[in-house]
Structures are given as structure tokens and as C-alpha cells.
Amino acid sequence: MTDHVLTRVANGTGIITLDRPKALNSLSLAMVRRLTDILLAWRDDASVCAVVLTSSSEKALCAGGDIRFFHEAGHATPTGGSALLEDFFTEEYALNHLIHFYPKPYVSIMDGVVMGGGMGIAQGGPETGLRIVTERTKMAMPEVNIGLFPDVGGSHFLSHAPGQLGNYLGLTGLTIGAADALYVGLADVFVPGAQLGELNALIESTPGAQLADAIRRFAARFAVDAGQSVLETQRAAIDAHFGASSVAAIMASLEKDENPFLQKALAAMRQRSPLMMCVTWEMLQRGAALDVADCLRMERSLVRRNFEHGEVLEGVRALVIDKDNAPAWNPPTLDAVTPEMVERFFEPVWPDHAHPLRHLS
């Protein structure tokens, strides 16, 4: 169904409202297609000068992809794939690319949960993107928790985060709030939740061509209200530990530090898929040297390899379907992960001329 994506134009601004509150606006293939259709139409419409992405619920902008669908579609064939699953990731990543390079101001109101696929549709490009957070923002790239990896462009925006903060976020999958999002560079301005009504009125009354500047001026008075970034206070320690040469070395380093913040990170990593943490670490090393399009192409191949392996199917089963919170990771321990296992994920799935995202530039 596409009625989970509501659209209208007000004063030259195209407003997209995600309206699937019971699922925290998790993205279906139909929603990805609707978002793509409307953004392509507005891109070429001279009467639309800016775009705003928002939600009908203060609980979430978007909690990610519809992982129940992943589980169902992933079991459709013995190799863990189906045509709909292939279409979902190809079209989702193409949408992420479209948003990153959107030629008009793209404003995302990241109120509530913004995780995984939600980050992919909220992280507008550096030239035109304007990302707003509130005190309710709960941001994360938690994919290693379900046996996946930080996709939707995570190999680019995490690998370009300051210092080792990208490794920290990608390997732990832990949630951050507004102040940390601003510090890491995953948000631009803070607006208190109580002021969102005023912000929405501003959006309605301001000509689209002037919207981004008007929002920045509006948000400037709240800059100090976001609070202190925990990641900033812990930055030196994060860089010291998460700059180690492998996941095993990172965890060994963390084990020697009694800092409660770091022990929380270590405890989280002990629950994650050992294999996918190693794949994530390697992906972020490679992503740092790639542009956005090549990062998305790399991720698209990694997704195919992941479903072939089955790690994400087991992760979703344990955390979402059966809810036993006891995933049988394969392999079950970090010391059982070999370089060959990791390298297998990075072997080309398609020749360059046949890659489903070959047209991204």
C-alpha cells in the first residue's frame, strides 16, 4: 500500500509525511517506490523549491526497513533471496542516492526513532540536506544486532564520521540522541519537540526557495538546548580503542578498560553477530576511500552475500519473529571468523556492467 506516504505542496515546499505509525514507519517496497516517484516528480517541477520529510507520529520518523518482510522473502528460496527482496534493496539504495544528491533543499525532521533505513532517507547530501533533531531523537545504525551491516549508505557516512566514531556506531549498534548526532555530523540543527508546531507553521508560511535559511535562523536560538554530547566527552577513549586493527583487537582493548561507557560498548558487541561485525569493520575501511555511489554498490553486493549466508534471517528470527533473543550466529564466536569468510562477502556478485546499481553516478 502506498497510503503510508502522504504528500502535498505548500507555498513551494513539497511535504512528505510518513504515516505507518504502528510499524514506526518501517519502509515497505511500496513506500520506497512512492518516495522515489514523488521525489523524481518534484525534482523536475519548477513550482517545488524544497522538500520536507516528516512523520505523522512523534515516536518515529522511520525505524528502518520492514525486517519481517526480509525474513519472509529471504526464506522464499534456498539461497535466501526472492525477486521482491532483490527489488527492495536495489530500489532502496537508489532512493538513498537520489536523496543524497537531491538538487533542492531536502529537510528531514528526525523526531523520535531514526534507525537503519530511516537514516538512509533522512541523510540528505551536504549541499542541500538539512537534518533536524529533537530531544526525542533516537538514532542508530543497529544492523549488526540482527546479523546485517550498516547499509543505506552507512559505509559512506559512518566511515566519514570524525575519528573512530563511525566504527563505534557501526560495531556496537548503540543508540545516540540529539547532541551526539550533532557532534558526529549526522544532524545539523536542534529544535525542541515543543517547538515543532511553530516549525511546521514556519514551513507552511515560508516560500520554499527561502525555507532552509529560515529554518536555520529559527533553530539558532535553540543551539545550546541540545545538551552535552557524550561521544564528545568520550572521544579520546573511543578513538584509542576503536582505532585498533581488527574487531578482535578492539574488543581485547575494551576488556582492559573499566570505563563504564566502554564496558557498555563491549557488552553490546558481545551480543552482535561476530561475522557481521568483522564484515562491517572491513566495509568501513573500504568505504572511507569510495564515493557514495560506489559505497552503495558495495553494500548491494554485501546484502546478496548476507542473505546467501543467512545471518540476517537468523537475527530477525531471534529478535523479531520468535523473540527468544538467542540468535545462533554462524560462526558463533569471534575467534571462529576467518579472513576467508569475511572476504567472501566482498567477492563480486555481478560483473560491473550487470550490477543493479551500475547507473548510479
Three-class secondary structure of residue 345 per DSSP: helix
pLDDT grade for 127, boundaries at 50, 70 and 90: confident
Extents of the domains making up the chain: 5-354
**Residue that wins the pLDDT comparison between 68 and 11:** 11
Four-way CATH pick for 5-354: 3.90.1300.10, 3.40.50.1700, 3.40.50.10800, 3.90.226.10? 3.90.226.10
pLDDT grade for 1, boundaries at 50, 70 and 90: very low
Q: What are the grid coordinates assigned to 318, written together?
A: 531471534
pTM to 2 decimals?
0.95
> Of 235, 168, 226, whose CA–CA distance to 195 is shortest?
226
Residue 264 has pLDDT above 50, yes or no: yes
Residue 178 · residue 224 · CB < 8 Å: no
Residue 76 has pLDDT above 80, yes or no: no
* Distance between start and end Cα atoms, the chain: 30
CA distances from 99 to 36, 46, 85, 132, 172 (A): 9, 18, 21, 16, 26
What gap in Å lies between CA 280 and CA 146, rounded to an integer? Answer: 13
Q: Report whether the peptide linkage leading into residue 332 is cis, meaning its omega lies within 30 degrees of zero.
A: no
What gap in Å lies between CA 47 and CA 207, rounded to an integer? Answer: 11
What is the structure's pLDDT at 71?
78
Count CB-CB contacts under 10 A for residue 101.
Answer: 18
| Phi, psi (rounded to 5 degrees) for 115 | -135, 150
What pLDDT digit, counting tens, does each position of 132-169 carry? Answer: 999 999 999 999 999 999 999 999 999 999 999 999 99
Q: Is the dihedral of CA 251, 252, 258, 259 positive or negative?
A: negative
Q: What is the dihedral of CA 231, 228, 174, 133, to 10 degrees?
A: -120
Average pLDDT score over residue span 305-319? 94
Q: What is the bridge-based pairing of β-strands 5-10 and 13-18?
A: antiparallel
Q: What is the mean pLDDT of the chain?
A: 95
What is the structure's pLDDT at 124?
87
